[in-house]
Amino acid sequence: FAGLADVSISEDIPVEGEITVPVGSRSPDEDYSTLDEPVRDTIMRDLKAVGKKFVHVMYPKKSSALLRDWDLWGPLVLCVSLALMLQGGSADSKDDGGPQFAEVFVIIWFGAVVITLNSKLLGGTISFFQSLCVLGYCVLPLTVAMLVCRLVLLAGSGTVSFVIRLIVVVAMFGWSTLASTAFLADSQPPNRKALVVYPIFLFYFVISWMILTFTPQ
């Protein structure tokens, strides 16, 4: 600071320069312009995002699209469709339609919450809703398995159909577990991956079991 002490600016020299801040390409008005677009655009944009995530689940590469902008639309749609398809699968269909739907719904969401809490307690860096999003989206292969099982059961319910259903469900269960592990295990310390994978395995195992033992009446 000693060198600057003798700098002086004479008062008759005008100071020049540009004080304006360069305006960014997005003016504040653009943030609110999505209110004016037609409803079709909004819905199509959300549907495209959900569809892109479905594709990511079916071909699990190491991409961060599922994690970066999470949404719970996909899991909700999958959960509701799975619960609807699992309805009416017990011997007495008088009053058992209700509990089946609520059962599946509660199992999926309660199970996903427990797994998320477990992975956070084990020192994971993933956020609560990101984990819910991944677990919900990875139910997609099992929903496909349920669809296939229902179609196979339309044809008949003998040993052959059971074997086909078993193979399909086991394959989809493996796919679900691998897909969710690919997304979730990266956020854990490397020596604790097994501790996080086991509850995910159990969760999808319970859902697969419900799908496999489904018998329509």
- Contacts to other proteins by CB under 8 A: 1, 28, 32, 90-92, 95, 99-100, 102-103, 106-107, 114, 117-118, 120-122, 157-159, 162, 191-192, 194-195, 198-199, 202, 205-206, 209, 213, 215
Single-letter residue type at 138:
C
Question: How many CB atoms neighbour CB 38 within 10 A?
Answer: 8
Tokens 């599946």 -> residue: 104
Closer residue to other proteins (CB): 16 or 31: 31
Cα distances (Å, whole numbers) of residue 3 to 6, 9, 10, 13, 37: 7, 15, 18, 22, 60
Long-range contacts for 163-169 (Cβ within 8 Å, ≥24 apart)?
Answer: 165/212, 166/212, 169/142, 169/145, 169/208, 169/211, 169/212
Closer residue to other proteins (CB): 66 or 200: 200
Single-letter residue type at 34:
T
Q: How far is the CB of 194 from other proteins (least distance, A)?
A: 4
Give the span between the Cα atoms of 137 and 155, in whole angstroms. Answer: 29
Cα distances (Å, whole numbers) of residue 158 to 147, 153, 164, 196: 18, 9, 10, 37
Q: How far is the CB of 73 from other proteins (least distance, A)?
A: 22
Closer residue to other proteins (CB): 77 or 195: 195
183 in Cβ contact with 66 (< 8 Å)? yes
Closer residue to other proteins (CB): 71 or 103: 103
Q: How far is the CB of 158 from other proteins (least distance, A)?
A: 8
Closer residue to other proteins (CB): 51 or 99: 99
Q: How far is the CB of 35 from other proteins (least distance, A)?
A: 12
Q: 83 in helix, strand or coil?
A: helix
Q: How far is the CB of 11 from other proteins (least distance, A)?
A: 21
Give the span between the Cα atoms of 129 and 131, in whole angstroms. Answer: 5
Closer residue to other proteins (CB): 60 or 201: 201
Structure tokens at 52: 């892109």
Q: How far is the CB of 27 from other proteins (least distance, A)?
A: 11
